[in-house]
Structure 1
């Protein structure tokens, strides 16, 4: 399993602008929710835009994988549950589940490969240990429960 990381729950209310011609949430909206959840999680852990700007570094998306299981509709109350599954030298894998608590359905599961870049050089940069530490569960170090 690798490292244990903390879960972050990002609440979403589906609005009319999210809906496509089929009457359910447009696929691209899920990507926006994933991005919003990742940013909110980072801010919650003390890593907002100002902190990354100070380092002259930041995260950019290298790839998304998403599997749509059930549609979402206008006025649905959803949660994007997200966590960082693993870090590499200059990247991380973040996972997501889009959940609808009212019927306990998981609407989508996804992951993003985020690359950590030096913004001045536009080159990969080593992820600082304090960023890695921010997303791990306090007190558990880097060992997963068996």
Structure 2
């Protein structure tokens, strides 16, 4: 597969009938939901679950999201959604990227990115990443290539 960056965390997906909109392709809101699922799956694979976020009273919250919808997909089409932690300042900010590929030919269907900020869950205010976040997330950050 032609991934934008090495070693993605991959989620295999396929649109169901309920994911298809009036134009007979996967609704764009479905891709956003899948990105959230992939982000959580990757976070959990790195050792940080929602329970850990609550215990630490910290979370990586989406400050900005951006999606480029490049090609349509249809019901039942096998897809692969890759995600990476792309960059971080190691304090407050981190970027997560996404790439959705059509499994049959490797064509890129979607690219996305999230600007994340570490917050204190109880107050909603920006707070420095706890050591557990740095230990889990920073080793997984790919070198910025832009």
Which ranges in structure 1 are unaligned for 5 or more consecutive residues?
none
Choose which of 73, 95, 104 in structure 1 pairs with 2:106: 104
Helix, strand or coil for the counterpart of 1:102?
Answer: coil
Contact 2:99 2:110 (8 Å CA) reproduced: yes
Contact 1:60 1:115 (8 Å CA) reproduced: yes
Which ranges in structure 2 are unaligned for 5 or more consecutive residues?
none
Helix, strand or coil for the counterpart of 2:21?
Answer: coil
Contact 2:86 2:142 (8 Å CA) reproduced: no
Q: CA deviation at 1:72?
A: 0.8
Runs of 4+ in 1 over 3 A off after TM superposition: 135-138, 141-145
Q: Which has the higher contact order (CA 8 A, sep 6+)?
A: 1
TM-score w.r.t. length of structure 1: 0.85
Contact 1:5 1:135 (8 Å CA) reproduced: no
Change over 3 Å in CA distance of 1:21–1:123 after alignment to 2:
same
Q: CA deviation at 1:59?
A: 2.1
TM-score w.r.t. length of structure 2: 0.85
Contact 1:25 1:74 (8 Å CA) reproduced: yes
Helix, strand or coil for the counterpart of 1:36?
Answer: helix
Residue pairs, 1:1-146, within 5 angstroms: 7-88=8-89, 89-137=91-139
Give, in whole Å, the separation in 2 of the partners of 1:99 and 1:132: 29
Change over 3 Å in CA distance of 1:118–1:6 after alignment to 2:
farther
CA RMSD between the two structures = 2.3
